[in-house]
């Protein structure tokens, strides 16, 4: 699966990342999503190989390539075909193709096990957090169900990035060129939608095989109020572990339920996460001068004889988007927010199930390692925005929530989610002592009761007005007496 952001490569600047940990490889320098699920020029080598007699021409491979290309253009011409920046019909079709022709349905026993595990997890969570249950129903999903149910959220995540990338290419054209190319703009837009849809479909197909719950990557991908687990993936995940599958199911149900509580009762949280993605997308810029220089040095004859040269050129990073300060800030906000979500869930679930499930600590460590070696969360955000959810950040966030629970209590810890301004930032994760001191000093009460805050403000302003008005009113009364406002009996006229 390509880990580049919608066909763009992303330089790995995290010192904790190591070669071979699932974070890069050839995909990290694969700027147009060439490879699995996308178009790979090097694969032409199977059809045309100048080093072989007769050019190594393989009609069967060429026919397969042309057939796939024909299917793509056919989907463009079909009534109702996707006309947005991403062809989601194609993405869904490719994702399902990766799953194979047959996907085992959910049995009644599997659904009952998920329901019972979720119910037990909710009971245990009640004592570990002040946030009430956020899910109104619990369901078991197949990988196909996951693709279908999460696609609306993927549209919100993918459209801003795809629209910005698609608009970049036409925004730099002179007005005359735009007018001349007008009839072709629609077709170019559809082809861009096909390219993005192809890469997204590849990502979703891979994720659908791996994700364990609807919030496995830290986002509420499923419908509101729905707690969802994927029994097939959980069974495969449990196969190599020592804990019983029933305990693993309860542990994962507790994580899913904790995520649901947080997203259901912190209404601004979803928009904050999606807004960070949109802020990143608005800042995407390309160095078109570098592209022009690269294009000037291309020899069409050389490419015709050895198309792999094109892949070498693309791998040089010429077509990478330029990272702007605004993008860096957006990525830092997104990374910090996702780390805070994951750290809070880890802390709450540990408190809820730690004494009840002997293997809870080992399971938590297994999930950390899964994330550190390029699990679903890493792959998804690398594909979307070039972001890697760094394990270091999650560990620091979990440590902060743990200290806050110990020093301030559950009520004040969960009260931090009352307003985005109360959340710790990246510097607080590095040095949490100051943030915890602020919370212990009552920092979370400012937004607990807006009506009480308004009443206190009005009372303070009233006291200030009365304090300013006391002296002038007294002076006015005294002045009235000085101006002859004495009682009539003391008036000289009455005398």
- Domain ranges in the chain are 40-78, 85-171+185-283+324-440, 450-482
pLDDT in tens, 436-486: 998 888 655 444 455 555 666 677 777 777 776 654 444 444 444 444 444
* Range 374-393 average pLDDT: 66
For residues 88 and 96, what is the distance between their CA atoms, to the nearest angstrom?
12
Phi, psi of 229 (to 5 degrees): -125, 155
Average pLDDT, stretch 63-87? 57
pLDDT at res. 399:
93
* pLDDT band, very low/low/confident/very high, at 318 (cuts 50, 70, 90): very low
Judged against a pLDDT cut of 80, whether residue 210 lies above it is answered with: yes
Query: What is the 3 state secondary structure string of the chain?
Result: CCCCECCECCCCCCCCCCCCCCCCHHHHHCCCCCCCCCCCHHHHHHCCCCCCHHHHCCHHHHHHHHHHHHHHHHHHHCCCCCCCCCCHHHHHHHHHHHHCCCCCCCCHHHHHHHHHHHHHHHHHHCCCCCCCCCCCEEEECCHHHHHHHHHHHHHHHHHHHHHHHHHHHHHCCCHHHHHHCHHHHHHHHHHHHHHHHHHHHHHHHHHHHHCCECCCCCCCCCCCCEEEECHHHHHHHHHCCCCCHHHHHHHHHHHHHHHHHHHHHCCCHHHHHHHHHHHHHHCCEECHHHHHHHHHCCCHHHHHHCCHHHHHHHCCCCCCEECCHHHHHHHHHHHHHHHHHHHHHHHHHHHHHCCCCCCHHHHHHHHHHHHHCCCHHHHHHHHHHCCCCCHHHHHHHHHHHHHHHHHHCHHHHHHHHHCHHHCCCHHHHHCCHHHHHHHHCCHHHCCCCHHHHHHHHHHHHHHHHHHHHHHHHHHHHHHHHHCCCCCHHHCCCCC
Share of the chain above pLDDT 70, in %: 57
Q: Tell me, what's the pLDDT at 213?
A: 96
Over residues 218-227, the mean pLDDT reads 90
**Statement: residue 11 has pLDDT above 60:** no
Q: Give percent of the chain with pLDDT exceeding 90.
A: 33
pLDDT at 19 over 50: no
- Work out the average pLDDT over 314-320: 51
Q: Tell me, what's the pLDDT at 311? A: 55
**Mean pLDDT in residue range 202-222:** 89
Q: Is the pLDDT of residue 236 over 60?
A: yes
Is 333 within 8 Å of 420 (Cβ atoms)? no
Residue 4 has pLDDT above 60, yes or no: no
pLDDT at 282: 72
Task: Tell me the mean pLDDT in the region 377-384.
Answer: 66
Average of per-residue pLDDT values in the chain: 74
Lowest mean pLDDT among 46-50, 231-235, 303-307, 408-412: 46-50
- Judged against a pLDDT cut of 80, whether residue 202 lies above it is answered with yes
Query: Strands 137-140 and 226-229, how do they pair?
Result: parallel
Q: Tens of pLDDT along 133-171?
A: 999 999 999 999 999 999 998 888 888 777 777 666 566
Pairing of strands 285-286, 226-229: unpaired
Buried (b) or exposed (e) across 195-221, using 16+ Cβ within 10 A?
Answer: bbbbbbbbbbbbbbbbbbbbbbbbbbb
Is the predicted pLDDT of residue 253 greater than 60, yes or no? Answer: yes
Higher pLDDT, 99 or 65: 99
Looking at per-residue confidence, does 130 or 26 come out higher? 130
Q: Residue 400: is it exposed, middle or buried by C-beta count within 10 angstroms (0-12/13-18/19+)?
A: buried
> Given pLDDT bands bounded at 50, 70 and 90, which one contains residue 113?
very high
CA-to-CA distance for 33 and 200, rounded, in angstroms?
10
Least confident of 18-27, 316-325, 397-406: 18-27
């Amino acid at each position: 699966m390509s880990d580049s952001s919608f066909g763009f490569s992303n330089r790995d600047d995290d010192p904790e990342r190591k070669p071979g940990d699932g974070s890069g490889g050839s995909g990290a320098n694969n700027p147009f999503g060439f490879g699995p699920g996308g178009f790979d020029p090097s694969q032409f080598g199977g059809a045309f190989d100048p080093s072989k007699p007769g050019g190594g021409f393989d009609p069967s491979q060429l026919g397969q390539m042309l057939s796939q290309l024909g299917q793509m253009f056919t989907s463009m011409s079909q009534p109702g075909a996707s006309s947005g920046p991403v062809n989601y019909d194609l993405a869904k079709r490719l994702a399902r193709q990766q799953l194979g022709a047959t996907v085992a349905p959910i049995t009644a026993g599997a659904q009952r096990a998920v329901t019972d595990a979720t119910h037990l997890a909710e009971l245990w969570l009640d004592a570990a957090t002040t946030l009430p249950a956020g899910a109104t129903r619990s369901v078991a999903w197949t990988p196909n169900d996951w693709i279908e149910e999460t696609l609306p959220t993927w549209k919100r995540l993918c459209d801003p990035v795809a629209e910005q990338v698609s608009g970049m290419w036409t925004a730099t054209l002179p007005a005359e060129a735009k007018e001349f190319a007008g009839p072709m703009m629609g077709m170019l837009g559809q082809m861009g939608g096909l390219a993005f849809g192809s890469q997204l479909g590849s990502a979703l197909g891979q994720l659908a095989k791996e994700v364990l719950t609807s919030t496995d990557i830290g986002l509420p991908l499923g419908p509101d109020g729905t707690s969802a687990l994927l029994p097939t993936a959980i069974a495969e995940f449990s196969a190599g572990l020592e804990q019983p599958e029933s305990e693993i199911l309860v542990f994962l149900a507790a994580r899913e339920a904790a995520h649901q509580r947080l997203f259901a009762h912190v209404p601004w949280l979803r928009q904050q996460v999606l807004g960070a993605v949109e802020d990143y997308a608005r800042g995407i810029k390309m160095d078109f001068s570098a592209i022009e220089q690269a294009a000037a040095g291309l020899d069409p004859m050389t490419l015709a004889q050895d198309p792999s040269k094109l892949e070498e050129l693309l791998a040089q990073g010429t077509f990478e988007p330029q990272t702007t300060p605004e993008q860096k800030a957006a990525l830092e906000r997104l990374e910090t927010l996702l780390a805070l979500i994951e750290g809070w869930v880890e802390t709450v679930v540990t408190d809820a199930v730690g004494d009840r499930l002997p293997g809870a600590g080992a399971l938590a460590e297994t999930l950390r390692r899964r994330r550190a070696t390029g699990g679903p969360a890493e792959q998804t955000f690398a594909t979307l925005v070039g972001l890697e959810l760094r394990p270091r950040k999650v560990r620091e966030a979990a440590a902060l929530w743990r200290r806050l629970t110990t020093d301030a209590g559950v009520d004040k810890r969960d009260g931090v989610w009352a307003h985005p301004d109360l959340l710790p930032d990246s510097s607080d994760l590095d040095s949490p002592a100051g943030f915890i001191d602020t919370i212990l000093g009552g920092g979370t009460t400012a937004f607990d009761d807006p009506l009480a805050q308004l009443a206190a403000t009005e009372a303070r302003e009233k006291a200030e007005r009365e304090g300013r008005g006391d002296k002038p009113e007294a002076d006015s009364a005294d002045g009235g007496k000085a101006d002859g406002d004495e009682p009539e009996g003391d008036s000289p006229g009455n005398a």
